[in-house]
């Protein structure tokens, strides 16, 4: 057991507490309708302007999975990168999301993730970490908040 702990201490973390990644996205009405159609989401709030105007929010809204797909894509791309000379392999193990407000067409959304905790996992051979994410409109109110559990390993093993 001491040998495993000693080995873990000599491994350079591929992820650090407090590390962040961020990207802005904007969905057009066509983007929203196309994504909903491609994913089998037939809710008229994603493609029918009249239905959306009669509904609670009054406008076309993106499906929850469209925003969360962008969020997962951001965190997966960031932590599987090799632009710093370190090859990485990433596994997304779990995500939980809560929807706080609608995402309307043509809104600028800021997607943001921050690493909350990191620990070496010897049995998985990599760094297990938790990240907290959010999608906000102009950094004001969150539309979606999330938490992910991910595993990052050296790609050189």
Q: pLDDT for 26-80, tens place per residue?
A: 999 999 999 999 999 999 989 888 888 888 888 999 999 999 999 999 999 999 9
Q: Domain for residue 36, yes or no?
A: no
For residue 11, the domain's CATH number is 3.10.129.10
Q: Domain for residue 116, yes or no?
A: yes
pLDDT exceeds 90 at position 8: no
Q: Domain for residue 40, yes or no?
A: no
pLDDT exceeds 50 at position 94: yes
Higher pLDDT, residue 147 or 1 = 147
pLDDT of residue 6: 47
Query: Which residue shows structure tokens 């990485």?
Result: 88
pLDDT exceeds 90 at position 157: no
80 Cβ contact list (under 8 Å, min separation 6): 88, 89, 90, 152
pLDDT exceeds 80 at position 12: no
135 Cβ contact list (under 8 Å, min separation 6): 67, 70, 71, 103, 109, 110, 111, 112, 142, 143, 144
pLDDT tens digits, 117-139: 999 999 999 999 999 999 999 76
pLDDT of residue 137: 92
Q: Domain for residue 101, yes or no?
A: yes
Q: Please state, in angstroms and rounded to a whole number, the distance separating the CA atoms of residues 42 and 46.
A: 8
Q: Domain for residue 74, yes or no?
A: yes
Q: How many domains does the chain have?
A: 1
Distances (CA, A) of 14 to 42, 127, 157: 41, 7, 13
pLDDT of residue 11: 57
Q: Please state, in angstroms and rounded to a whole number, the distance separating the CA atoms of residues 14 and 11.
A: 9
Q: Which domain holds residue 13?
A: 2-28+63-154
Q: Domain for residue 20, yes or no?
A: yes
Q: Domain for residue 81, yes or no?
A: yes
Q: Domain for residue 53, yes or no?
A: no
């Amino acid at each position: 057991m001491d040998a495993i702990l000693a080995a873990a201490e000599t491994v350079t973390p591929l992820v650090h507490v407090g590390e962040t990644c961020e990207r802005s996205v904007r969905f057009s009405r066509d983007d929203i309708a196309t994504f909903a159609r491609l994913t089998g989401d037939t809710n008229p709030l994603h493609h029918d302007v009249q239905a959306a105007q009669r509904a609670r929010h009054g406008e076309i809204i993106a499906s929850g999975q469209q925003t969360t797909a962008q969020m997962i894509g951001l965190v997966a791309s960031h932590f599987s990168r090799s632009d710093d000379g370190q090859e990485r392999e990433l596994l997304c193990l779990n995500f939980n999301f809560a929807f706080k407000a609608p995402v309307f067409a043509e809104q600028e959304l800021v997607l943001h993730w921050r690493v909350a905790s990191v620990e070496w996992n010897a049995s998985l051979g990599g760094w297990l970490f938790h990240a907290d994410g959010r999608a906000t409109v102009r950094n004001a109110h969150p539309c979606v908040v999330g938490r992910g559990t991910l595993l990052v390993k050296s790609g050189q093993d």
